[in-house]
Amino acid sequence: MDLLRSFYPGERRKTAYDIDYREWYEKGKRAVLFDIDNTLVPHGAPADEKAVALFRELREIGYQSCLISNNKEPRVKSFAESVGSKYLWKAGKPSTRGYETACAIMHVTPEQTLFVGDQLFTDIWGANRAHIDTILVDPIHPKEEIQIILKRRLEWIVLKAYERHHRLTVEKDN
């Protein structure tokens, strides 16, 4: 199913806090883009100490960061100020425009950038089309708006195809 591959993440991790960012830095990444809601914190929650510590660690490694959200400015700006990150609100994901703007804000190329998000049809699909490496994380909190619940059911189909593709690729390589 080649059509589905545009939705496949480069990697999957349980949380944004389980990613080896140092390893990605060694591979040439210099910037990380993040979705906020259900990627870093539950939907609508303020930045917690875990998120603040993650962004502090990213700066220590040498990364720039940018929050890229379809949410309104007050939500995104307050979170960005709490963690010390650049931000882009009403980003229009999955359009590539927001990803490209975020890269321009940080003066990096898509090849130097990593994206972390929890939704295939907005976060991952948009970043893939912008030629940015992607990591899909599990949603932090199961309670979501109805339109997201419906998208998750469709995501399940794509993720099953991704897992089958990934398993076959690993078996072929061994």
CATH code, 114:
3.40.50.1000
Residue 146 pLDDT more than 60? no
* Helices and strands (DSSP H and E) totals, the chain: 7, 6
Number of domains in the chain: 1
pTM of the model: 0.84
Q: Is 81 exposed, middle or buried (0-12, 13-18, 19+ CB in 10 A)?
A: exposed
For residue 174, name the pLDDT band (cuts at 50, 70, 90): low
Residue 166 pLDDT more than 90? no
Is 47 within 8 Å of 75 (Cβ atoms)? no
Tokens of 113: 């950038």
Cα distances (angstroms) measured from residue 157 to each of 9, 63, 151: 14, 34, 10
> Torsion-angle region of residue 136: left (phi > 0), alpha (psi -120 to 50) or beta?
beta
If you average pLDDT over every residue of the chain, what do you get? Answer: 90
Nearest to 31 by CA among 97, 108, 104: 108
Backbone angles phi, psi at 15, to 5 degrees: -140, 165
Chain segment 7-31, per-residue pLDDT in tens: 899 999 999 999 999 999 999 999 9
Q: Residue 111 is part of which domain span?
A: 2-173
